[in-house]
Amino acid sequence: KRNLIVFGTRPEAIKMAPLVKEFEKHSDEFDTKVCITAQHREMLDQVLSFFEIEPDYDLNLMKPNQNLYGLTADIIQNLKVVLEDFEPDYVYVHGDTTTTMATSIAAFYSGSKVCHVEAGLRTFNKKSPFPEEMNRCVTGVVSDIHFAPTQTSKENLLKENKPPKSILVTGNTVIDALHLSVSKVNAQTYDHPEISMLSQILDPSKKLVLVTGHRRENHGKGFLDICEALKELSTKYSDIQIVYPVHLNPKVQEPVYKILGDIPNIELISPLSYPSFVWLMNKSHIIITDSGGVQEEAPSLGKPVLVMRDTTERPEAVDAGTVLLVGTNKDLIVSKASKLLEDKNAYDEMTKLHNPYGDGMASKKIVEHIRKQK
């Protein structure tokens, strides 16, 4: 069977890497090739080198001031060439990016079977000005096999009348990636300049509060409020150290550096490569983020997460109690973080909870399922 695995951004690369590695182990049965659209360039390349993945096709589509019209058209047209060259039986896409949606359409045109990894997440807000929900839904319509991370995501797909046989609950491959990474990163021999830099700036006598934020829905007032909340926390608690790898988007950089640039117990640093970020998550006391992937990863490391969003397509974590949804409301961020910093019992309870996103076997389950296909 011929497999083509396609991705374009950092989170997709992290979550598809374990599947690439798993198919590589079975190269006698499967001919597997990797195609990157490079919708994001640098952040993607770091992940590829960490997981030692060499793409067979690199469409290299990132352009300055890229817009969704041009990107979508470029992906579909460039994939035509790849699909005609390799003629895959199965094309794998991940999640909800423009790469995911456009690739699934191209694969549909070519007659390959479309496999959607991390299928069935829904915010139920297709009219949002941000394309993720539409990307997920379109990919869901086009897909032949849906690899749903949780039972909830399977139920979302069933409600859309997807045939039950087309859906397999696997857990999220992000946990597979985390398992592959933690041991590698914690090994004595693992040497990375970013980790040396982090070791120098971290104050071991302080509790580490790790922050990330990038979501477009928080640009503007959202980030201003987030920054004010972090500023208040930093003055309220002299025994914490806030470390914030700041996303490169100027809409994030501007408010963050303006409001938080000069505070002694706040370290603003450049975005980290995936292994260094995993290392830092492992060292943290609590994590405050608007990232989807981080809220799936952190519970496996026993780290409580505050999520700075009003809605989430990941209700399982909220239901399981491994994350707390706090929006971008300054008072709520401060009060929930304070509770975790002051109330040891509440903190300990959260660190013991079971991760609803699986056990790190998702890519094995996907390969097994494909093996059984006629």
Active site residue 96: yes
- Token pair, residue 337, equals 């973080």
DSSP string, 183-237: HHHHSTT---HHHHHHHHH--TTSEEEEEE---GGGTTHHHHHHHHHHHHHHHH-
What six digits make up the tokens of 123?
């915010």
Helix 221-236 and helix 330-342, axial crossing angle in degrees, nearest 10: 30
Is position 132 annotated as part of the catalytic site? yes
Return the residue of 8, 10, 83, 266 that touches ligand UDP, per CB under 6 A.
10
Out of 118, 267, 297, 313, which residue is the one contacting ligand UDP (CB under 6 A)? 297
Return the residues of window 198-217 that contact ligand UDP according to CB under 6 A: 212, 214
Nearer to ligand UDP, 214 or 364 (CB): 214
Q: In the complex with ligand UDP, which residue's Cβ is closer, 249 or 338?
A: 249
Alpha-carbon distances, residue 86 vs 52, 56, 80, 90, 355 (angstroms): 22, 10, 10, 11, 38
Q: Which entry of 214, 219, 285, 369 is annotated as an active-site residue?
A: 214
Residues 115-174 that bind ligand UDP (CB under 6 A): 174
Helical residues (DSSP H) of 87-207, grouped into ranges: 98-110, 132-142, 151-159, 173-186, 193-201
Instruction: Establish if 274 lies at the interface with ligand UDP (CB under 6 A).
Output: yes
| Residue 225 engages ligand UDP in binding (rule: CB under 6 A) | no
Closest of 157, 231, 242, 165 to residue 203, by C-alpha: 242
247 annotated active-site: yes
Segment contacting ligand UDP by CB under 6 A, of 48-56, 148-156, 272-280, 331-339: 272-280
What is the residue-wise DSSP string for 23-64?
HHHTTTT-EEEEEE--SS-HHHHHHHHHTT---SEE-----T
Closest CB to ligand UDP among 11 and 18? 11
Binding of ligand UDP at residue 360 (CB under 6 A)?
no
Candidate list 10, 116, 215, 247, residue with the active-site label: 247
Nearest CA among 264, 260, 225 for reference residue 245: 260
Question: By rule CB under 6 A, what count of residues binds ligand UDP?
Answer: 16
Site for ligand UDP, residues 11 to 40, rule: CB under 6 A: 11, 14
Shortest approach of ligand UDP to residue 8 CB, angstroms? 12
Shortest Cβ 357–ligand UDP spacing (Å): 12
CB of residue 261 to ligand UDP, shortest distance in Å = 18
Scanning residues 233 to 252, which ones bind ligand UDP (CB under 6 A)? 245
- Closer CB to ligand UDP, 17 or 82, in the complex: 17
CA distance 87 to 81: 10
Could you say whether residue 277 binds ligand UDP (CB under 6 A)? yes
Residue 354: active-site member: no
Considering the complex, state which of residue 11 and residue 88 has its C-beta at the smaller distance from ligand UDP: 11
Q: Is 317 in the site for ligand UDP (CB under 6 A)?
A: no
CA distance 75 to 249: 23
**Position 292 contacts ligand UDP (CB under 6 A):** yes
60 phi and psi, to 5 degrees? 45, 55
- Residue 222 near ligand UDP by CB under 6 A: no
To ligand UDP, the closest distance from the beta carbon of 195 in angstroms equals 13
**Distance from the Cα of residue 80 to its chain's centroid:** 27
Distances (CA, A) of 160 to 11, 135, 138, 150, 155: 26, 15, 12, 16, 9
**Residue 267 interacts with ligand UDP (CB under 6 A)?**
no
For residue 168, report the phi and psi dihedrals to the nearest 5 degrees. Answer: -130, 130
Please report how close the Cβ of residue 16 comes to ligand UDP at its closest, in angstroms.
12
Which residues does the annotation mark as catalytic? 96, 118, 132, 214, 216, 247
Could you list the residues that contact ligand UDP (CB under 6 A)? 10-11, 14, 174, 212, 214, 245, 271-272, 274, 277, 291-294, 297
